[in-house]
């Protein structure tokens, strides 16, 4: 089970940190990802992190502004979002992929096995 939190309303240029707490499995076996879905748009990849946290990948639209990290001792993955823009407004979802290797990451939503319920982020201009 994945529980996302940390969303809210922020002004453009501001920051938020999203958290996703996992339960019911061995967290370190999963690569983790963040996706988002804006109103009227398809879900899109944001960031992913490998099981051991060394390997990460980002969507071009968030590179340099967002940072994904994880704490396997706390069964939690984070998304630090800085320099927020109105176009970042969306519902953000975390997802878990039972990865075959420790450095594996993917931006393909179909690869993820479990999804959280989403947390809403609104960026005002």
DSSP string of 54-70, one letter each residue: S-EEE-TTTTTTEEEEE
Query: How far is it, in rounded angstroms, from Cα 21 to Cα 63?
Result: 23
Predicted local confidence at residue 89, as pLDDT: 98
Contacts of 14 (CB under 8 A, 6+ apart): 84, 123
Query: Average pLDDT for residues 90-101, to the nearest whole number?
Result: 92
- Its sign, for the CA torsion 113, 36, 77, 5, is negative
Does 100 have pLDDT greater than 80? no
Task: Identify the pLDDT of residue 84.
Answer: 98
Which pLDDT tens digit goes with each residue over 43-83? Answer: 999 999 999 888 999 999 999 999 999 999 999 999 999 99
pLDDT category of residue 24 using cuts at 50, 70 and 90: confident
Please list, in sequence order, all residues whose beta carbon lies within 8 angstroms of the beta carbon of residue 114, skipping any fewer than 6 positions away. 1, 2, 30, 95, 96
The DSSP symbol for 41 reads S
């Amino acid at each position: 089970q994945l529980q996302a939190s940390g969303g809210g309303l922020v002004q453009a240029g501001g920051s938020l940190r999203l958290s996703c707490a996992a339960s019911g499995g061995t967290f370190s076996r999963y690569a983790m990802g963040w996706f988002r879905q804006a109103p009227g748009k398809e879900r899109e990849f944001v960031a992913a992190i490998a099981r051991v946290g060394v390997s990460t990948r980002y969507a071009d639209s968030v590179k340099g502004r967002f940072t994904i990290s994880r704490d396997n001792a706390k069964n939690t993955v984070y998304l630090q979002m800085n320099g927020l823009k109105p176009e970042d407004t969306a519902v953000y979802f975390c997802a878990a992929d039972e990865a075959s290797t420790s450095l594996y990451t993917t931006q393909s939503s179909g690869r993820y096995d479990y999804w959280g319920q989403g947390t809403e982020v609104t960026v005002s201009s």
